[in-house]
Amino acid sequence: ISILSHWCDGKLEILAEDEVNNEDAESILGKLGVLEFDLESYNVDWMKKYKGKSEIVLRPKSVQEVSEVLKYCNSENLAVCPQGGNTGLVGGGVSVFDEIIIQLGRMNEIRSFDEQSGVAVCDAGVILENLDNFVGERGYMCPLDLGAKGTCQIGGNISTNAGGLRLLRYGSLHGTVLGLEVVLADGTVLNNLSMLRKDNTGLDLKQLFIGAEGSLGIVTGVSILTPKKPNSVNVALLAVPNYEFVLENFKLAKSHLGEILSAFEFFDSKSLQLVLKHLNQLRNPLPNTEDSKFYVLLETHGSNFEHDQEKIEMFLEAAMEKEFCSNGSLAQGEGQVRDIWAIREGIPEACGKEGAVYKYDISLPLKSLYSLCEVVEKKLINDKIYLPNDFENSLVKQVLGYGHVGDGNIHLNISAKQYDSRVLNSIEPFVYEFTKKNQGSISAEHGLGVMKGKFISYSKSDEMITVMKNIKNLLDPNGIMNPYKFLV
Ligand code: FAD
């Protein structure tokens, strides 16, 4: 009640549990125009794997409100959990206990767009797809694209340093974000919404907040460089007999399509089967390719359609001739481009519909990328958690893999009947040990969150972790920013 009273005369939107039901609370909530009492959607993550117990969700409308809230929480030692679109896959955006959730969805204005340079400045709560549509109407596109674009927010993307489907071509947010506005734990506003591509004056502080997962402050504003939308887009889907040939196709694609290649994605046949099973509207554009263990989706972004199509056709001919693929299809028109992408982007949703999913987002040298799935499958068989011919009695249903070959990033998904400690103990820390032994990273693009905070030492040295903790202590000495995660 005292927290609510504090903002009683403000414009802040507050959502609170209906437990707060005495008269005082009701009058306070009434004055504030509380919109809902059911906080379930804020307390549970996208996978329904992580559940918090927050009783208050604050939805600020301006940087001043965020500043005031953090100043108060810091002075009262109240922990907060920043939340964007809540599509994160490591449990970072939901509270662990009863931290106050600060949800950025009402900060959703695009502040400016420069049609010469392509620099967009916007609030952190703008949904990625809305930003993409806005700049799209002006001939530009977001440098970042991912399956959750209709829900995730640009502030969440920056806070997780999301990679997505076209990092291969347009690079990471560490390069395309030109400036940030951030509110620190004590309410200080760091305004660095630079629109400059070059600025070598002192330390580049914004880089600290890209991928900080809400542990250092709340991102409220973003300045981002958007590239020109391509005049010509081509998409091809290949059926590939084995993983070695996935890599051969990648090498071939780079030599035929180097300057126009914008995505090179892959998925195994088990992923495709799940999509076809659960997303009824989708069809396999390459029927009768059941013998192929893998599928490759490649995309080009260029400026001359005839020229690009000629190149991609030559690539396809060469791949067929060398038998790197058993079949291939070049999308004809925007509808087919969308349909092929829908298969790749539908895999996380299809996995979710199968039951519980253990998701591992791992970077590895390309040669060992898919072997991660193979060794995990073998391990689960040895541990008798996975019984290949006895799905009815097995806890684990299947092990599958897909991801961004172009970035050396695989998403290992273990689908199970339910979340169960026996399955988890069989997978972890095995997956992280394998990753470390093969010079990989235990988090390629999803971050650490609750899931991987305690495993950071598989990818970072003690000295590096100490420096990270020192920075955290400097910026958030009371430890109110998204505690119990990330750096634990
Ligand atoms: P949330 O989930 O709300 O939060 C994520 C983290 O950022 C939390 O730690 C939170 O505290 C913090 N945070 C959020 N907003 C702020 C803010 N304004 N200031 C400070 N901290 C903040 N990820 C990829 O990298 N590549 C993919 O290809 C990809 N594909 C996906 C596909 C699907 C179907 C789904 C469901 C997820 C996918 N993801 C992918 C994961 C997820 O979408 C990204 O991590 C996304 O960037 C999260 O954004 P969000 O707004 O939903 O953040």
Q: What is the CA radius of gyration of the chain?
A: 23
User: Which CATH class name applies to 110-225?
Assistant: alpha beta
Please list, residue by residue across 421-443, b when 16 or more beta carbons sit within 10 angstroms of its beta carbon and e when fewer do. eebeebbbeebbebbbebebbbb
CATH number of 232-350: 3.30.70.2190
C-alpha 163, offset from chain centre: 7
How many Å lie between the centroid of ligand 1 and the Cα of residue 97?
20
Q: Whose alpha carbon is nearest atom 25 of ligand 1?
A: 162
Q: And the tokens for 341?
A: 């992408």
Pairing of strands 80-83, 56-59: unpaired
The 3 state secondary structure assigned to 407-443 is: HCEEEEEEEECCCCHHHHHHHCCHHHHHHHHCCCECC
Q: Does this chain's domain 2-103 share its CATH topology with 355-446?
A: no
Atom of ligand 1 nearest to the CA of 155: 18
- ipTM entry: 0.99
Domain boundaries, the chain: 2-103, 110-225, 232-350, 355-446
Euclidean distance between CA atoms 164 and 171, whole angstroms: 10
Task: Kindly give the distance from the C-alpha atom of residue 87 to the centroid of ligand 1, in angstroms, as a whole number.
Answer: 5
Query: Does residue 148's CB lie within 6 angstroms of at least one atom of ligand 1?
Result: yes
Amino acid at 380: L
How far is Cα 4 from Cα 193, in angstroms, rounded to an integer?
Answer: 31
Placement of tokens 């305004």 in the chain: 191
pLDDT of residue 111: 98
Query: Is the CB of 85 within 6 Å of ligand 1?
Result: yes
Q: Assign 235 to helix, strand or coil.
A: strand
CA-nearest residue for atom 35, ligand 1, is 148
Task: Say if ligand 1 is within 6 A of residue 159 CB.
Answer: yes
Residue 157 Cα: closest atom of ligand 1: 47
413: Cβ below 6 Å to ligand 1? no
Min mean pLDDT across 28-42, 64-78, 418-432 is at: 28-42
Residue 211 is encoded by which pair of tokens?
A: 């991928």
Ligand 1 centroid to residue 162 C-alpha, Å? 7
| Cβ 162 under 6 angstroms from ligand 1 | yes
Whether 60 is in the pocket of ligand 1, judged by its Cβ within 6 Å, is no
478: how many CB neighbours lie within 10 A of its CB?
A: 16
Q: How many CB atoms lie within 10 A of CB 405?
A: 27
What tokens appear for 64 in the block?
């001043």
Q: What is the mean pLDDT of the chain?
A: 92
| In the predicted structure, residue 72 carries a pLDDT above the cut 70 | yes
89 ligand 1 Cβ < 6 A: yes
Q: What CATH number does the domain located at 355-446 have?
A: 3.30.70.2740
- Classify domain 2-103 at the CATH topology level: 3.30.43
Closest CA to 405 of 326, 297, 308, 300: 297
**Residue 298 confidence (pLDDT) above 60:** yes
DSSP β-bridge partners for residue 396: 416
Candidate from 185-194, 226-235, 388-397 with smallest mean pLDDT: 388-397
What pLDDT, in 10s, does the model give residues 426-476? 999 999 999 999 999 999 999 999 999 999 999 999 999 999 999 999 999
Q: Does 348 contact ligand 1 (Cβ within 6 A)?
A: yes
Q: How far is the CA of 127 from the centre of ligand 1 (A)?
A: 11
What distance in Å separates the CA atoms of residue 177 and residue 180, rounded to the nearest whole number? Answer: 8
pTM greater than 0.90 (yes/no): yes
* Range in 21-35, 329-343, 428-442 the model is least confident about: 21-35
SS3 46: coil
| pLDDT tens profile 166-194 | 999 999 999 999 999 999 999 999 999 99
Using the predicted structure, report yes or no on whether residue 278 has a pLDDT greater than 80. Answer: yes
Instruction: Specify the DSSP class assigned to residue 35.
Output: -
Residue 244 is encoded by which pair of tokens? 């070695």
- Report how far ligand 1's centroid is from the alpha carbon of 318 (Å): 39
User: Does ligand 1 lie within 6 Å of residue 157's CB atom?
Assistant: yes
Distance CA 92, CA 484 (A): 10
The residue whose CA is least distant from atom 41 of ligand 1 is 88
Would the CB of 184 count as within 6 Å of ligand 1? no
State the Cα–Cα distance between residues 310 and 447, nearest whole angstrom.
Answer: 39
Please choose, from the candidates 273, 275, 269, 282, the residue with its C-alpha nearest in 3D space to the C-alpha of residue 353. 275
| CA 81 to ligand 1 centroid distance, Å | 13
What stretch of H or E contains 295? strand 294-302
Q: Is 103 helix (H, G, I), strand (E, B) or coil?
A: strand
Respond yes or no on whether the N-terminal peptide bond of residue 477 is cis (omega within 30° of 0): no
For the chain, what percent of residues have pLDDT higher than 70?
A: 91
Q: pLDDT category, 33, cuts 50, 70, 90?
A: very low
Residue 135 carries which side chain, given as an amino acid letter? Answer: V
